Amino acid sequence: MKKSDYANTSYMPKTLLKFYFKKCFPGLYKWILLFMVFRLFEYSGSVVFPYVERWIVAMFEGAPMGTAIYAYVMPTILLLVGINMGYSTIAIIRDHISSVLRPYLNRKISQVLTDYVHLQSMSFWVNRMAGSISANIRYCNDGAETLINNVWSMVLRLVMIVLNSTLLFTVNRYIALTFIGMFILRAIFVFGLRKKIKKSAERRASTGSALSGKILDGFSNNMAVRLFAGESREHDYLEKPRAEHVNARRMASFWQRLSWAVPAYFWDMMFGATLIFCAYMYSRDMMKLSDIVYSMAVYYNVMGMISSLINEIPTIIDGMSSAAKGYKELSVPLEVVDKPNATTLNVKHGKIEIKNVSFKYKNKYILRDLSLTIKPGERVGIVGPSGAGKTTLVNLLMRFYDVRRGAILIDGVDIRDVTQNSLRENISFIPQDPAMFNRTIRDNIAYGRPDATDAEIKRAARFASADKFIMLTDKKYNTMVGDRGIKMSGGQRQRVAIARAFLKDAPILILDEATSALDSETEVAIQKSFEKLSHNRTTIAIAHRLSTLRNMDRIVVLDHGQIIESGTHKGLLRRGGEYARLWKMQSGGFLQEEKDEK
């Protein structure tokens, strides 16, 4: 199998079965078929072995007692050994096939789902916990195994039961009829319980994935837990979901158990009744010893088959419904998708037009009828109180979400008409809270341009004033940064993010509080770099620290999702509005700038 068979897929089939057949099984059919055939061979033993037993008894029955029977029985014994060895070989081969099929199948399923989940828009991620996403992928994996293994086994068992009963029919039809009757009785029993079994299995799956999501949430917030001495609170917080899961598991087992426990007693009584029946037939010379042995062998065999079959049904319902539920959660349609005829965005000038844009996450509008045109190469600063919608605005520009009303155009093209990849390729974006991969510093910087040379990476790091601290780490550019970049300081993380954006070298630059965690000296150094970088590049910079935006061509003040002021730093100060008020606060109660001006 090729290593990179990444298929960019923006669509997932509606049902789990279609998902398996369309996305996961192709390429593995040969192995699936082999597995099924060998399973069939394996199960055929249940028809063959009662015959073998009958044969053995008949052989001894037929041999004249007290004579040298070796010559007589030897050929048959050899044949029987051959049959047994044949079945052992089948089992070994089948096991080998499983050992090939299972890992590949798991890999495929996990791959397809992981690829798809990566395409989900931001709202998918903010509404789900990473832990429950991986739990759901696991359920889908188990579901495929259930389908290939258990469902096929069920079918085969059914066939073998019918075959055995038919063969038994030729030996003793009364016993055969009793078997069939018992089987139907049990099937009805399980069928009656199927809803309970299914519901309880679904509950077990959903409480399970909710629990693992919550546990992981705690892990990733471990700092906060320690900080607020929250260990025992975390313990208590998990109590309820844990109890729910335990309860759900117990109930699921209960309904499963009920489905086989009651019929088990019937069988035990049936066994006695059948033996009595055989004794009766034997005493009347209506049944040979070999037929009795055969009947009993079939009895045990069919009983075992039926038990496994019936027990398998809840397992199948359980496995498949957990998988279906997991799949449903993962396969939600993508919110932001490329149009079928989406073109590639090619930014020549970098003009950005935000036209009457309104946006809400859920109920409340965050941006209302907002319009802003940014000229090619213009540098615009956005300021405004926390929660005003600044990040939301740039998220829309990146198309992490789609606008509800209005439109965003780049160089006159609606960003909904171009591919998301080409849009994002044209924008270097430094987010407010840059996360890092738990990979090396080099990998993190080069993420946007994996083909970058070491010299280019170093240059980008120098630009972001990051080279110095990187060279002081023990493995320099090969230092691992820890989960989400935990082994770096906030300011170091920001500088790596800046280096990454610089290396990407896109025509549009967006900085969302890109330097908020830096000391003044480093910030000044980086400001200079940015000035060079933003030269002739359309730039949007968001900052709370207003001094960072002083040299912008224009500053826009956003409040409650609307632009309330706009102008140059000096112009806005003169205006004496919100910006001037904020500036005054930040410069320590007096208008430093105004003093400078005078």
Q: Note the residues at the interface with ligand ATP (CB under 6 A).
A: 126, 361-362, 366, 384, 386-392, 432
In angstroms, what is the minimal distance from the CB of 442 to Mg ion?
A: 29
**283 binding partner (options Mg ion, ligand ATP, none; Cβ < 5 to 8 Å by kind):** none
Minimal distance, residue 362 CB to ligand ATP, in Å:
6
| 590: helix, strand or coil | coil
Q: Which is nearer to ligand ATP, 242 or 560 (CB)?
A: 560
Q: Which is nearer to ligand ATP, 45 or 561 (CB)?
A: 561
The candidate with the shortest Cα–Cα distance to 296, out of 179, 135, 126, 426, is 179
Closest CB 371 distance from ligand ATP, rounded Å: 17
Output the CA torsion 476→481→482→488 (10° steps).
110
Task: State the binding partner of 392 from ligand ATP, Mg ion, none, CB within 5 to 8 A by kind.
Answer: ligand ATP
Distance CA 576, CA 585 (A): 13
Query: Residue 390 or residue 416: which is nearer to ligand ATP going by CB?
Result: 390
CB 271 within 8 A of CB 175: no
Reported residue count of the chain is 598
Residue from 391, 420, 516, 548 touching Mg ion (CB under 5 A): that is: 391
Nearest approach, Cβ of residue 334 and Mg ion (Å): 24
Neighbours of 89 (CB within 10 A): 11
Whose tokens are 């063959």? That residue is: 48
What are the angstrom distances between the C-alpha of 226 and each of 374, 482, 490?
Answer: 45, 19, 19
Query: Total number of residues binding Mg ion (CB under 5 A)?
Result: 2
Q: What is the DSSP letter of 148?
A: I
Q: Pick one of Mg ion, ligand ATP, none as the site partner of residue 120 (Cβ within 5 to 8 A by kind).
A: none
Specify whether the CB–CB gap between 395 and 121 falls below 8 A.
no
Instruction: Report the distance separating Cα 345 and Cα 347, nearest Å.
Output: 6
Is 526:499 a contact under the CB 8 Å cutoff? no
Of 128-136, 253-261, 425-433, 450-458, the window that binds Mg ion (rule: CB under 5 A) is 425-433
What is the closest distance, in whole angstroms, from the C-beta atom of residue 512 to Mg ion in the complex?
Answer: 6
Phi, psi of 129 (to 5 degrees): -100, 140
Q: Which does 366 bind (CB under 5 to 8 A by kind): Mg ion, ligand ATP, none?
A: ligand ATP
Minimum distance from residue 467 beta carbon to Mg ion (Å): 28
Shortest Cβ 433–Mg ion spacing (Å)? 9
Token readout for 11 is 């669509």
Residue 375 or 545: the one with the smaller Cβ distance to ligand ATP is: 545
Q: Specify burial of residue 292 (Cβ count, 10 A radius: 0-12, 13-18, 19+).
A: buried
Q: How far apart are CA 192 and CA 258, in angstroms?
A: 11
- Closer CB to Mg ion, residue 375 or residue 544? 544
Would the CA dihedral through 253, 258, 259, 261 be positive or negative?
positive
Pick between residue 111 and residue 432 the one whose CB is nearest to ligand ATP: 432
Residue 387's binding partner among ligand ATP, Mg ion, none (Cβ under 5 to 8 angstroms by kind) is ligand ATP
Distance of alpha carbon 283 from alpha carbon 559, whole angstroms: 100
- What SS3 class is residue 177? helix
SS3 label, residue 414: strand
Least Cβ distance, residue 397 to ligand ATP (angstroms): 12
Query: By CB under 5 A, which span of 188-196, 212-220, 384-392, 553-561 interacts with Mg ion?
Result: 384-392
CB 256 to Mg ion: min, Å: 50
| Interaction partner, residue 361 (Mg ion, ligand ATP, none; CB < 5-8 Å by kind) | ligand ATP
Q: Choose among Mg ion, ligand ATP, none what residue 598 binds, the Cβ cut-off being 5 to 8 Å by kind.
A: none
Nearer to Mg ion, 120 or 391 (CB): 391
Binding site for Mg ion (CB under 5 A): 391, 432
